[in-house]
Structure 1
């Protein structure tokens, strides 16, 4: 069995609090938070997964395929991830590790729903998705409540 690991990162700043754009993180809507300043839905988790896939396949999803989809009015990060997954070819997902830094929203009650949504989109078992979240203790702009940052490590294998 041959393993590969990809690292992905994404971050977005929040829109003003009176924005009507929904805040979507990990495919889950957070009602008590404004959406992100982005030409897409700004889902930092799904976008970071796309970047991790790019580091494995070398197919540029964000800044490439996703931009083309945005021009057609397709701004859903789930669509970008579904397209990115196609580029894995015969590789299968072994595990996805996600870490999120943000002062807001509070993630504790949303970890399981995000894991379930990501597993559903990626057609993997929820046990293959791990998510941690940290407030960052005020050390970065994300930890001060200006936006959300996400890092992921994606491990895939080929038999």
Structure 2
């Protein structure tokens, strides 16, 4: 079996009275992430981790923010497309470990639903999806609630004859 590891990072600006979608879940908060798609920072970081592990570039290479096909699209659809891309190279997802960095809202009540959404999008098992969260301790753009950050690592695997 051949295995590879990928790393992903994403950041989005937060704006007042804007939807806040993370892991396919709409968070109850007065600010939300802004972007061309639904700005799901978690799904974007996972996409980059998967694409990087398979040496397929990054999310911007495949889903340009100038392409109207992707405007407002659910990032879970982009994640499904990334799994298809790595599948075309013979890989499947082993596991995903992700970290969200945001000051508010608290993420713990949403984590199980996020894990379920990500698992469904990749066609995997919820037990292979780990999502954690931390704050910026009121420091920097995360601490001032100006932005949200996500990091992700993944393992992809290919059966070899």
Is the counterpart of residue 115 in structure 1 residue 120 in structure 2? no
Is the counterpart of residue 47 in structure 1 residue 47 in structure 2? no
Moved over 3 A (4+): none
Which whole-Å CA distance do the structure 1 matches of 2:60 and 2:74 have between them?
14
* Structure-2 residue corresponding to 1:56: 53
What's the C-alpha RMSD, in Å, of the aligned pairs?
1.7
Q: TM-score, normalised by structure 2?
A: 0.88
Classify the secondary structure of the residue corresponding to 2:97. Answer: strand
Deviates more, 1:113-122 or 1:140-149: 140-149
Classify the secondary structure of the residue corresponding to 1:54. Answer: helix
Classify the secondary structure of the residue corresponding to 1:136. Answer: coil
Note the residue ranges of structure 2 that are not aligned, 5 or more in a row.
none
Which whole-Å CA distance do the structure 1 matches of 2:67 and 2:106 have between them?
29
Q: TM-score, normalised by structure 1?
A: 0.89
Which whole-Å CA distance do the structure 1 matches of 2:99 and 2:65 have between them?
28
* Structure-2 residue corresponding to 1:84: 82
Deviations 1:29-88 (A, max 9, x none): 112243222111110000001111221223245222212784225432112111111111
Cα 1:26–1:136 shift into 2, 3 Å: same
* Structure-2 residue corresponding to 1:67: 64
* Structure-2 residue corresponding to 1:150: 150
